Structure 1
């Protein structure tokens, strides 16, 4: 074997050197190899003591499997055998020692074959040897479900630990990475450290204070302080899982260390003391939350010891940890910024739903209880009429059966008709009753009340269904946003490099990111000081020339240290609007708005509230405000409109009213447009001199909240030179809208504002003065 020949060669060389010189000189490489062998021996011994589920110890076998067939493997084998016999005792330890010997034998025997070099070979061999030796012991313990689960987990962990331990040692045994550890190597080191802490957790001071758990808390604290929330939570989970596996109980340490890692990461920029206090307080909360499971007071002492050690650690050591974490963060900077963009979309969606909640909460009150039992009709009538009748005891006690039968026979006809008549009751009952007319009138009142209650309950069930649909729409919206968050937003490293070079030449230092959003449009994000000059139009034009992409500033979020530039659309829309209130009114019931989204979509909204005046204006204004907030948040138009319709239907239960909705969405990159309508007046599209008319059959928003209450949708392709006219129903007036189409087609001017004003002025002669009137015109142009 190659390994055996190599060892013989080195031994012969050492004997010859000692014979010639009389002494053995250990050179630097030999000292390094000696240190590596000692490390393997110690790791094998320590990992052999890492027990999970009350007696299973696969990690020492993993160390033997990853160490190979040479001197490293032999030292790991020696350390693992000593560790298993020391920690497990002779009987249990012998089983693991035998498995370790078999694993080393497989490595030694198959060293020269090709499959040995595959990453899966030794992990699979280690798992197989562990399964073979453990089979006999499992038979002795009994084939219970619990034993099978724990044994299977041990076999899997044996192979997994061998795989990850090999990766953890690859920076020292393989080719070194100039740029630092890879993500796989970092994760593997976390796994190695976590399993080592399992053994260290057995070492206790002053009774129950664990050295391993104190070291785990210190590691989480240091990583969170230098790396922030993400690394702190990751190391917290890794260390917590190791401690929970050792304890064999509920995942307390995973929760406590992860929470503490997050909180220490939140305050990592406020200094060591703030991070340590956040960590200690978070652990204290975790202990209090699990108090019913038994107070875990030693955790508080362990965390206190770790925090003291953290405060006195030298800065040089912390800088080493910071360099390792920062190297990982730097490579993910652009991707994180891209994900932050989608995260902002999610937060905006949540804000829109909060506004919707406030709008509904103010409209709803407590629903009084009502009785829907038909049998109570005559009970309530009798309590009003028969209370002072001299025949009360005769009718309702002695002859109760005949009275009950008479009333029971009359009830179906009364419910079907909606009221009772004298012939509905048997003659023996009507002739005997001294107050029959009063009784019949009271029964009819109760029947009417019963039918109203049934109608109310039916509407209440419909409203509850609408609320359920609201939750379904919410799930769809957030699912879409989550899909966008998980989507691959493609970075553009070439343009990002050009951007950094341009900014460096201008003397501007800031963080930059260049990537494409979900629609495939370029998006630039700059964060830092001194960005004000870059907001000027001439500076944006220069950046567009440098990157060879037309750019424009995105909507400002109020931050001076942040600038977002998005790809400029090839099309632009010139808008004009004119409106006039109904004669005698001070407030119009029409409300409109238009805005452009960062993705290049232009939205135009026009709503007409029921009637005229302040109440109609309030309803249409609420619809426009909510719909605009949804659309700005990135909610798809049809989903936003359905949600708005259900919300207005619920709101109308208390406040009454409805509103028409006219929505135009225009993609300024492609010219694709869609018109959405809830009971709105026709929309007119002019191409050249030809005017087409878009109508719908859906009821206004708020009138129908059922499953079929979807808006009418019409799609159209627009080009430069096309015109779009949106109006409320007051513009056409009581006449046909033929004059509107003719006036729109004949307009020769270039100003949309002039066209809208002419339409509003002329509408008065067609009966439009009896309603609010609003007209909005768009003309599409090339930029």
Structure 2
């Protein structure tokens, strides 16, 4: 009843449109629906002529049972009735026509019943209707053993055809995205094609050449040449079985087509001609092997004609066949996903190696150190008292009094950093004939002792920094290991779709489609002939195919193409820079890049002072940070690692740099600003401008627990602006003019804003330091 009401509703809507507009407009869905109904009608008409055992034709009845009670079922019923009455004659045709009408009536009557949804209901109902009508007709002929066997087989085939036809139509009717065709769907489609060939088998040319067998040979040849041995054998068995059932004899065609399909599949990589020749020769052998059963000369003619048609078929048509029978990839998608993570780990290791090489030139082994205060006077005595006439008196006979005198003077000397005459007792100072020289030597040793202690303290700090480096390395590798163990989800649906498309284009390559740890689609293709896919048109076609916008990840290998899901947001960057007066090189260094996970990174570093040394420090920090971030290291870990490394460099040569890092997720707009002693960052949203600051020291100066960068979290949207500057832009003074300038700016170019800010900075604070401005504007893609 629901179907009847639905049809009435559509008819009423069409009548209303015709009354109001004077015409009926068929929309695209209506045209598609009309085509579907026409296909059901034609299938019903063709299947009614598919006979087995010399007169049994249950397959059109099976199609009616599989099509249900709606418009599809009604069109299949009309086609089946038309076919049965025209192909089977009035008497036999009327029997099957009645069975079809009864089966459709059962489906229409029980549409809303729960049992109707069961997979067994319509196969049983159709077989029952076939049995009822067949019992009446066959009773007049007498129930011989042969008739009982054939009639029972017909009932089984009727129910089986309902079951398998319904499965064959599921990719069409259910419109679900699955991993290509399931084995059940593949078998069902082969059975549907085989039963259609039963009808064509009875259609002959010149009395001997069967259109059905010619079509079957062409189908086996085409699929075997594109899919290989397995596909050729499968299609050959299905086609041969259909021809044997139509002939009603021994399974000759099953053997001939299956064997020929295997041989053609074995030569499918040698070209079309080799596949055709192997197929024809194998069929000739099959005819000779069955000489005693009678020569099947017609088969040779049919195969020859099919081979000629096969050789002249357009390559595009064969590619479409290849897309349907494309085999699954040999390399598992999960292995490709693991290889992706492994590459990330290798890049991380390369970043640490670069860091080590940059440190090795500045770290040198130190001399043996001594921090014992008692050696101060020992070394002074070695230098002064050895040649004194009173040496034996002071250091042997009066050793106790000398030791006490020096021991009493040492605390004051260490506190002050040097000794004075009043620090020593009078009996010692008056007795020593070389007291001024001894005091000077002792002061030199005190200074050396304090330097050694300072060096030891600094060394301990550096060792602690190295330990922190190991801790950071452990965190980085731990995060990478967690990513390695994460579930990177393959997408077999899109992978199958892409494989069929590539096969249709004649591109042979290994393919993997999966989602990374952030849930974004990633495609990896490896093979020859990928150049067209790198072009804009190729990327657009692939994007439409997977229903995701894609972009190419640039790589060095020409035989590998990586595409990732494109971000909904995009950034436009602009920069401007001015050197300090009197300098040829700016100490500021900036960079920006986009990671393949959709994150945008903007870096701005200001080296200590100005000139070449400052530029070297800032460039080193930017280069190392960029390498770490591209390798997938988290910003916090990368920044702390670089800061500790710069601190170790400072052991031999003093150097540090400010670090300003902006990270924006172009999928979600989530952003964060990381700072090591950097100038404020300004964010413009609408007409308001906010200011983000930090209190940490520059990278290379912060150590211990205070070595973490300042982090400010924010969310950006299309139309927002972000400004990163070095401290020379404001000179450390008031910056209200910066916010006013950003608020008043009405242009659309980030570079214009950067240039305008530096021009205003020249008027506000002058050129006493290097000045750099980096402006980022977010827009929707």
Q: Calculate the TM-score normalised by the size of structure 2.
A: 0.58
Q: What is the distance in 2 between the residues matched to 1:697 and 1:735? A: 16
Query: Is the Cα contact below 8 Å between 1:602 and 1:665 reproduced in 2?
Result: yes
Q: What is the distance in 2 between the residues matched to 1:541 and 1:527? A: 19
Residue 332 (structure 1) shift: 5.6
Aligned partner of 1:510 in structure 2 is 509
Query: Is the Cα contact below 8 Å between 2:359 and 2:645 reproduced in 1?
Result: yes
Q: What is the distance in 2 between the residues matched to 1:443 and 1:416? A: 14
Pair 1:472–1:406, CA change in 2 (3 A) = same
Aligned partner of 1:568 in structure 2 is 566
Q: What is the distance in 1 between the residues matched to 2:510 and 2:768? A: 59
- SS of the equivalent of 1:351 reads helix
- How do residues 420-569 of structure 1 correspond to structure 2 at under 5 angstroms? 420-554=419-553, 556-569=554-567
Q: Structure 1 residue 745 and structure 2 residue 750: aligned?
A: no
Q: What is the distance in 1 between the residues matched to 2:555 and 2:762? A: 43
Deviations 1:711-765 (A, max 9, x none): 0000000011100000011111253111111111110111111100111112111
Residue segments in structure 2 that go unaligned for 5+ positions in a row: 1-182, 185-327
- SS of the equivalent of 2:525 reads strand
Q: What is the distance in 1 between the residues matched to 2:718 and 2:467? A: 43
- How do residues 84-163 of structure 1 correspond to structure 2 at under 5 angstroms? none
Deviations 1:386-442 (A, max 9, x none): 122111110011111111111112112221222222222222111111111221121
Residue segments in structure 1 that go unaligned for 5+ positions in a row: 1-177, 180-328
Residue 698 (structure 1) shift: 0.3
Aligned partner of 1:412 in structure 2 is 411
Query: Is the Cα contact below 8 Å between 2:329 and 2:510 reproduced in 1?
Result: no
Structure 1 outlier segments of 4+, above 4 Å: 329-332
Match of 1:617 among 591, 604, 615: 615
- SS of the equivalent of 1:736 reads coil
Residue 331 (structure 1) shift: 6.5
Deviations 1:657-713 (A, max 9, x none): 110000000000000000000000000000111000000000000112223210000
Q: What is the distance in 1 between the residues matched to 2:664 and 2:504? A: 39
Aligned partner of 1:764 in structure 2 is 762
Q: What is the distance in 2 between the residues matched to 1:440 and 1:583? A: 50
Residue 548 (structure 1) shift: 0.5
Q: What is the distance in 2 between the residues matched to 1:408 and 1:733? A: 53
Q: What is the distance in 1 between the residues matched to 2:426 and 2:441? A: 19
Aligned partner of 2:636 in structure 1 is 638
Residue 366 (structure 1) shift: 2.1
Aligned partner of 1:702 in structure 2 is 700
Number of residue pairs aligned between Structure 1 and Structure 2: 457
- SS of the equivalent of 2:348 reads helix
Deviations 1:126-146 (A, max 9, x none): xxxxxxxxxxxxxxxxxxxxx
Q: What is the distance in 2 between the residues matched to 1:604 and 1:548? A: 30
Aligned partner of 1:370 in structure 2 is 369
- SS of the equivalent of 1:476 reads helix
Aligned partner of 2:46 in structure 1 is none
Q: Structure 1 residue 399 and structure 2 residue 398: aligned?
A: yes
Aligned partner of 1:296 in structure 2 is none
Query: Is the Cα contact below 8 Å between 1:686 and 1:724 reproduced in 2?
Result: yes
- SS of the equivalent of 2:728 reads helix
- SS of the equivalent of 2:408 reads helix
Pair 1:332–1:538, CA change in 2 (3 A) = closer
Aligned partner of 2:309 in structure 1 is none
- SS of the equivalent of 2:652 reads helix
Q: What is the distance in 2 between the residues matched to 1:709 and 1:733? A: 25
Q: What is the distance in 2 between the residues matched to 1:768 and 1:739? A: 14
Q: How large is the RMSD of aligned CA atoms in angstroms?
A: 1.6
- SS of the equivalent of 1:714 reads strand
- SS of the equivalent of 1:731 reads coil
Aligned partner of 1:711 in structure 2 is 709
Q: What is the distance in 2 between the residues matched to 1:610 and 1:332? A: 52
Aligned partner of 1:283 in structure 2 is none
Structure number with bigger Rg:
2
Deviations 1:92-118 (A, max 9, x none): xxxxxxxxxxxxxxxxxxxxxxxxxxx
Q: What is the distance in 1 between the residues matched to 2:507 and 2:595? A: 28
Deviations 1:497-530 (A, max 9, x none): 1110111111111111000000110000001100
Pair 1:336–1:768, CA change in 2 (3 A) = farther
Aligned partner of 1:46 in structure 2 is none
Query: Is the Cα contact below 8 Å between 1:735 and 1:766 reproduced in 2?
Result: no
Aligned partner of 2:22 in structure 1 is none
- SS of the equivalent of 1:411 reads helix
Query: Is the Cα contact below 8 Å between 2:329 and 2:511 reproduced in 1?
Result: no
